[in-house]
Amino acid sequence: MSSVPERGDIDEEYKWDLESIYASDDDWNEAYEDVESRIDDIAAYEGRATEDAETLYELLELLESVMRDVSKVTSYAQLRASEDTRNQEYQALSARAQSLASDARSASSFVEPELQELDEDDVQQFIDENPELSEYEHYFDDVLRAKPHTRSKEVEELLADLSEVMGAPSDFYSMLANADLTFPTVEDPDGDEIEISQGNFTKLQKHPNREFRQKVHEQFYDEWEDVRNSVGSSLKNSVKADVKLAEARNYDTARESALDGPNVPVEVYDNLLGTVRDNLDKLHRHADLKRQALDVDDLQMWDLYMSLTGEEGPEISYEEAKEYVIEAVAPLGEEYQERMAEGLEDRWVDVYENRGKRAGAYSAGTYDTQPFIMMNYQDDITSMFTLAHELGHSMHSELAKGEQPWQYADYEIFVAEVASTVNETLLTQYLLENAESDELRRHVLDEYLERFRSTLYRQTMFADFELQIHEAVEAGEPLTPDAFDQLYGDLKAEFYEPAEVDDRIAREWMRIPHFYYNYYVYQYSTGISAAVAVVERILDEGEDAAADYREALAMGGSAYPMEVLETAGVDMTSPEPIEDALGVYGDYLDRVADLMDLE
């Protein structure tokens, strides 16, 4: 029987090195108590943050000191909690850390309203009086930009206090999906018992036996059906929280609020939805190519993840994946390549799935720690690409930390998803040129097409769904599980027109955690579009373009996302990068059709 191992059964070399943050939980507790005691120091500046340049600089330095330590404490607790969501000790640690972060935000909630009492001339005078404040010039600009949407000190403090409560629907969903929800065990065509999990569901949907894929599809979604009311309630309340918070900050819509944070024009979102909708014919062609390759009359939902080759791809061990990814990023420069290789040896990555481990993958870390990557590696091509993706995030953080002060080392998700997808695109290019076998080359081509499908089209479909459910709440319409099913099922039918949309796939919204992230998913789609443009420029122009790209990554949060991408040579206010990316997708569809003698 194939089963998911317990964490203790996995070798240490395949686990991330959290001891590099705190050597023990006792050390974490000491750090927690220390920073908790210092949060009150911030309150001493309330009402006098802008009395003179020196006082403002002292306050900003204090905030950095406290928030850096809060970030370390929170990161350690959340990473530990991800290792095994059943572990109540670490869930408690994570809850304490979240409360600490909420307290810190509440204690500092007066800072921006007091800064917003200044105007640009006042800020410049302060910088003239204390030149060290010039380091915060972009921060001041960002704060003053938000002035129309910042409330009184009392309201800001209340919103900060409520941040933990506002996140409760997401916390509930995470515990339900990762800790409490279990899935059936199914027998594969060889007679082996395989336990379905969040981590292996997609891989099982690539199994060459169609009846087995159908069985996995049906049993997986039937399990979600049993919790539809709970998940529906949590998502409804998450959307309501987004809408209410936007209203509290004087925004017309939750989308406007979410995009104004990173200063991304709403037109970018509209460009994405419109351009992708205008090119659904390419996605429909991809689906029909799958139907032909599988030699079936009707393409079903359990066929969508299946390779165009009609077979499972070759196994790619974690060690092989590391080598491929390191070689692939050579166009980004020797220093970039060497730093990434060192990180892989320094246990940045928590590699394999274990019982209770959070599903999916992510990159995390703080200004004062190494990056940490959570994986659920499945020895396949998809996992290899996911590793490349997350390493893109980690290297982005490394470059930004190396060049920027603390307040600018973080960066907006809009830019982050470019860094991750550049790595994926370079990996594709490398393997298509250097794969040792035609089999691997075919599967890499198929994987790249799947990445386009799932990133540019599927995430745009998610973005459309997210927009519709927020607009429903803003219009006073009820959101029930049936309403979610209807909206999602209609979108699935439109985007995947050549395929049969069954009742079970209409529940797919229930398994997507990103719907709790408040207009997050569209950035995957814009990210792959910008990434294709960046890679094409690097391959055409060489080191000059690579240097521009590295410079863009190193800018971190010291500029707004549109400016950062302009440094890399990409204009995301135009639909051109999206159109060009869709053109690349169409070209690769032609290539695979010729290769496999499909229409």
Phi, psi of 299 (to 5 degrees): -80, 125
Distance CA 196, CA 302 (A): 14
* Helix or strand (DSSP H, E) at 350: strand 349-352
Structure tokens at 192: 């082996």
Beta bridge partners of 39: none
* CB-based burial label for 1 (10 Å; 0-12, 13-18, 19+): exposed
Contact present, 226 and 203 (Cβ < 8 Å): no
**Cα torsion 227, 229, 231, 234: sign:** negative
**Cα torsion 459, 464, 470, 476: sign:** negative
Contact present, 21 and 76 (Cβ < 8 Å): yes
Distance CA 557, CA 405 (A): 10
Phi, psi of 46 (to 5 degrees): -60, 130
Distance CA 542, CA 544 (A): 6
Beta bridge partners of 285: none
Residue 390 designated active-site: yes
Q: For residue 136, give the 3-state DSSP assignment.
A: helix
Contact present, 419 and 395 (Cβ < 8 Å): yes
Contact present, 262 and 514 (Cβ < 8 Å): no
Distance CA 349, CA 133 (A): 37
Distance CA 79, CA 365 (A): 9
Beta bridge partners of 362: 374
CA distances from 149 to 8, 106, 139, 261 (A): 49, 17, 16, 10
**Cα torsion 32, 35, 36, 37: sign:** positive
Distance CA 487, CA 478 (A): 12
83, 390, 398, 466: the active-site residue: 390
Contact present, 337 and 430 (Cβ < 8 Å): no
The whole-angstrom distance between residue 6's C-alpha and the CA centroid of its chain comes to: 26
Distance CA 181, CA 118 (A): 51
Distance CA 530, CA 223 (A): 38
Contact present, 69 and 77 (Cβ < 8 Å): no
- Give the position of tokens 């290789």: 341
Residues with a catalytic annotation lie at 390
